[in-house]
Structure 1
């Protein structure tokens, strides 16, 4: 198909000249220290999901209300490109093994397939009612798209660029993730308060895990090595630790109001929970037990990504002093 994305590069030099890596005041806490505040392009409007590609040192950031996808070099701490044409972009996931990036163009009700080298949109797949979170199954070369308003998980075949199935859920879809341990897809289901397990080969739901104490499960992160899932209930500001081997909730923990995106650092065993209320909660995992290390306020910090190579944590903040920034912090 005709490429839809345009690479905007002219603003890079002014950003670099502005000494983009100079740190600015940020909340002090026991778990994180400020490394840098990097100016981001575009207007001071909402961001959503991020996806880190550690293989190529890139962070992809969905600048939702700007209709843009930001590409950031985490090693040089520079903007590589700012891609236009992604209407109300929510989810993004980089898949370096196939040199592709996938983005939820929610305003167009489609999934965009982007070449990671040229940064051109190769195809779009849909229609999908409200595409949000994304997961990639390497065994099947399929992308699973949580359709929040459509009460479904949509499935796109990467080889053909086509929507091949819509899997009905028992409520609105929360985040969707790939579990490498079981080679399956997990999706949170609002209202039913469960996590469904999808077989990416048969495209059927093979298990439903009830989540007592969790209202509207949304954000999901996995500790694949220890077979644990961390699931945030946006309806009651509570985080669950789930044993993936037994499908049992091991513990629940209070977090900030309206938790959204969560990220896990497998090396440090640190969990970061970002909330729409601007509350960030940091936990330390020891065995199956979580201990809260810190909780602090940071405006607009509802999305978080972590680089397991460096233990750096990334928060795109929509409006600090009238401009968007990428706040980079490091575990301590």
Structure 2
């Protein structure tokens, strides 16, 4: 039987522990609840868009926009330049030397290398059919372009600006990422899976099912804890342990997502959703609790996380009415209203 002094000790310890846990939960929740749209940069122009990427060191944001890439100064929100002459841009990858960038030109079936100081194209590199997601792999100094229609990956040597390998995949690839240790990961949309590739041997080394995930698109990575975050249809984010290939959580996100991001400093994962929300997920515990759904703008499906400022950039536009279906075009799409193309800047209060 415990003495009264021991009972008082254990009661006080439990009270302090409970208060500490409650305070930590409150602080975590309060931190996440601070996210909001703090600015809107109107870019204008015409046409649709796809991926964007931040260059924190140069304070630049590269945004694919129809047949061009907008280059935005993130300190002012003003254009710093543009890359032009493409057929349809999808993604941008940046090398680790601050020298070259790479644009996937889907309709051009090519990847274009450009000088990041002059914004001039220096090489046009034939790729597979409809290159889309693209990423730079730092161990092998290669760029990986994932081709949607030919369902393969074109591996480009950045020293020669030439394709050195073409790797067949099991289905239509979507967004890729790298772990910085020579491994490349990509979502396979048509197989509901993740493929792991070895950048040195240029081979597929594993393919893992994304249980509970339909049509995975965007992907982000936590290299400290070996986690991949794939955003999926059905309002789900699949969290995968990339040491085992197992899905360990599927937190609920907004509808119609297309991109993901990760803040290593605060252990938060983000999903940008076409329904007009940005979902914030706490990855610091196995619960993977959704902390906030930030109101953004409908159509803001793609995003870039800026590790230098902690801000998130999303792109959206206004749309006109959807045309009536015809025999020639049974699934018509509403057109972007010219001049409405905008970058949303999400930050903390």
Please give the TM-score of this superposition, normalised by the length of structure 1. Answer: 0.84
**Offset of residue 253 of structure 1:** 2.0
Aligned residues: 299
CA distance, structure 2, for counterparts of residue 168 and residue 258 of structure 1? 28
Task: Specify the alignment match of 2:54 in structure 1.
Answer: 52
Moved over 6 A (4+): none
Task: Specify the alignment match of 1:42 in structure 2.
Answer: 45
Task: Specify the alignment match of 2:322 in structure 1.
Answer: none
Task: Specify the alignment match of 2:271 in structure 1.
Answer: 273
User: Does the Cα contact within 8 Å between 2:304 and 2:314 map onto a contact in 1?
Assistant: yes
User: Does the Cα contact within 8 Å between 2:153 and 2:169 map onto a contact in 1?
Assistant: yes
Please provide the CA RMSD for this pair: 1.9
Task: Specify the alignment match of 2:71 in structure 1.
Answer: 71
Task: Specify the alignment match of 1:248 in structure 2.
Answer: 246
Structure whose residues are more often strand by fraction: 1
Task: Specify the alignment match of 1:30 in structure 2.
Answer: 33
User: Does the Cα contact within 8 Å between 1:60 and 1:72 map onto a contact in 2?
Assistant: yes
CA distance, structure 2, for counterparts of residue 228 and residue 289 of structure 1? 14
CA deviation map 1:52-89 (0-9, x unaligned): 111111111111x3x11011111233210122112210
Task: Please state whether the residue corresponding to 1:55 is helix, strand or coil.
Answer: coil
Gapped regions of structure 2 (runs ≥ 5): 1-31, 320-336
CA deviation map 1:263-298 (0-9, x unaligned): 111112222211334343222222343111222452
Do structure 1's residue 87 and structure 2's residue 87 form an aligned pair?
yes
**Offset of residue 169 of structure 1:** 1.0
Task: Please state whether the residue corresponding to 1:304 is helix, strand or coil.
Answer: strand
CA distance, structure 1, for counterparts of residue 165 and residue 317 of structure 2? 35
User: Does the Cα contact within 8 Å between 2:268 and 2:280 map onto a contact in 1?
Assistant: yes
User: Does the Cα contact within 8 Å between 2:154 and 2:163 map onto a contact in 1?
Assistant: yes
Gapped regions of structure 1 (runs ≥ 5): 1-28
Task: Specify the alignment match of 1:149 in structure 2.
Answer: 149
User: Does the Cα contact within 8 Å between 2:182 and 2:200 map onto a contact in 1?
Assistant: no
User: Does the Cα contact within 8 Å between 1:170 and 1:192 map onto a contact in 2?
Assistant: yes
CA distance, structure 2, for counterparts of residue 33 and residue 258 of structure 1? 20
User: Does the Cα contact within 8 Å between 2:128 and 2:152 map onto a contact in 1?
Assistant: no
User: Does the Cα contact within 8 Å between 1:50 and 1:93 map onto a contact in 2?
Assistant: no
Task: Specify the alignment match of 1:196 in structure 2.
Answer: 195
Task: Specify the alignment match of 1:312 in structure 2.
Answer: 311
User: Does the Cα contact within 8 Å between 1:135 and 1:178 map onto a contact in 2?
Assistant: yes
**Aligned partner (choices 301, 322, 329) of residue 346 of structure 2:** 329
Task: Specify the alignment match of 1:8 in structure 2.
Answer: none
CA distance, structure 2, for counterparts of residue 294 and residue 287 of structure 1? 16
CA distance, structure 1, for counterparts of residue 296 and residue 81 of structure 2? 30
Task: Specify the alignment match of 1:257 in structure 2.
Answer: 255
**Offset of residue 98 of structure 1:** 4.7
CA distance, structure 2, for counterparts of residue 185 and residue 179 of structure 1? 7
CA distance, structure 2, for counterparts of residue 73 and residue 57 of structure 1? 6
